[in-house]
């Protein structure tokens, strides 16, 4: 039990023999090299670990959240999905989803246990935007991942159902994705939209509500979000979870998609939630 506030205070009892630190972290997914960063918490022995998943195309990596969790006693691994920010391969939603099992395998390897002091039996998913979607979707296939926090999760399946009904929305979405071409290796944004349409059912989080209801969930969205509007991405999902008798905790903060003016409040919600986890 920590006796300080990791949201606003440094750890007054940091262990000088086992100090907090950062380390490059590289693993292989689908035959490509994936680049990441490991936040190693202070203290001797193995520690619980958060897999922190960024959004598209990875501009917001939530390092403030990573440092807060590190102060709270968690290791944190965050990485750039294939085809983004120097990681190998091509960017696609399928690759983004499949990078998470590869990251999980990496975390559970003996190498990570020895070098980063990972407790492979205590891993939590925290994801933002597309990362929030991927955290929720991937948790369904891993029974040992019982705790998931999704920040402004973008429900790809729901969006795939929407754009198939409106050529105007599809065109606007393509134009917005075009702006990310400098950051991701994906020559044609239309491929990403078509991928959403093809997977509009199996990537709809609502269709996984029953299995998700078995998890300890924290979903935090933004009232003025124009990227993942709450009416489309938050309310239907939370409603389905509650119908499935989920004990999901949900919050909608008065801010936009990046939570730029609510970072302390965002971290407070995550910190309070994660300290109550019983592995």
Answer whether residue 58 shows pLDDT above 80: no
Mean per-residue pLDDT, 73-101: 96
Main-chain phi, psi angles of 236, to 5 degrees: -60, -40
Answer whether residue 1 shows pLDDT above 80: no
Whether omega before 86 lies within 30 degrees of 0, making that bond cis, reads no
**∠ CA(231), CA(264), CA(39), 5° rounding?**
105
Residue 187 is predicted with a pLDDT of 77
**Is residue 6 classed as helix, strand or coil in its secondary structure?**
coil
Which residues touch 143 (CB under 8 Å, ≥6 apart)?
none
Would you place residue 181 in the very low, low, confident or very high pLDDT band (cuts 50, 70, 90)?
A: confident
- Give the homologous superfamily in CATH for domain 21-274: Alpha/Beta hydrolase fold, catalytic domain (3.40.50.1820)
How far is 175 from 226, CA to CA, in rounded Å? 15
Mean per-residue pLDDT, 154-182: 89
Mean per-residue pLDDT, 23-47: 97
Residue 123 is predicted with a pLDDT of 98
* Contact status, residue 158 vs residue 232, Cβ threshold 8 Å: yes
DSSP assigned state of 207: G
Answer whether residue 212 shows pLDDT above 80: yes
Cα of 166 vs its chain's centroid, Å: 29
Answer whether residue 203 shows pLDDT above 80: yes
Residue 188 is predicted with a pLDDT of 83
Residue 245 is predicted with a pLDDT of 95
């Amino acid at each position: 039990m920590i006796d300080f506030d990791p949201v606003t205070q440094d750890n007054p009892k940091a262990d000088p023999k086992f100090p907090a630190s950062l380390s490059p972290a590289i693993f292989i997914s689908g035959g490509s090299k994936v680049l990441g960063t490991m936040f190693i918490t202070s203290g001797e022995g193995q520690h619980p670990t958060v897999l922190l998943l960024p959004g598209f195309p990875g501009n917001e990596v939530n390092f403030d959240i990573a440092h807060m969790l590190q102060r709270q006693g968690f290791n944190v691994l965050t990485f750039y999905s294939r085809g983004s920010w120097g990681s190998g391969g091509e960017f696609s939603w399928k690759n983004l989803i499949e990078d998470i099992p590869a990251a999980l395998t990496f975390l559970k390897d003996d190498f990570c246990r020895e070098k980063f002091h990972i407790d492979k039996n205590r891993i939590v998913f925290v994801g933002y935007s597309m990362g929030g979607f991927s955290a929720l979707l991937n948790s369904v296939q891993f029974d040992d991942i019982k705790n998931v926090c999704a920040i402004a999760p973008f429900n790809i399946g729901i969006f795939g159902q929407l754009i198939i009904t409106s050529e105007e929305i599809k065109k606007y979405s393509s134009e917005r994705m075009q702006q990310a071409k400098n950051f991701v290796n994906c020559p044609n944004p239309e491929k990403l939209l078509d991928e959403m349409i093809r997977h509009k059912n199996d990537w709809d989080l609502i269709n996984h509500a029953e299995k998700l209801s078995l998890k300890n969930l924290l979903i935090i969205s933004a009232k003025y979000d124009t990227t993942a509007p709450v009416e489309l991405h938050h309310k239907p999902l939370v409603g389905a979870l509650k119908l499935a008798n989920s004990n999901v905790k949900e919050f909608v903060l008065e801010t936009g998609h990046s939570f730029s003016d609510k970072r302390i409040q965002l971290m407070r919600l995550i910190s309070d939630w994660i300290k109550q986890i019983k592995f």
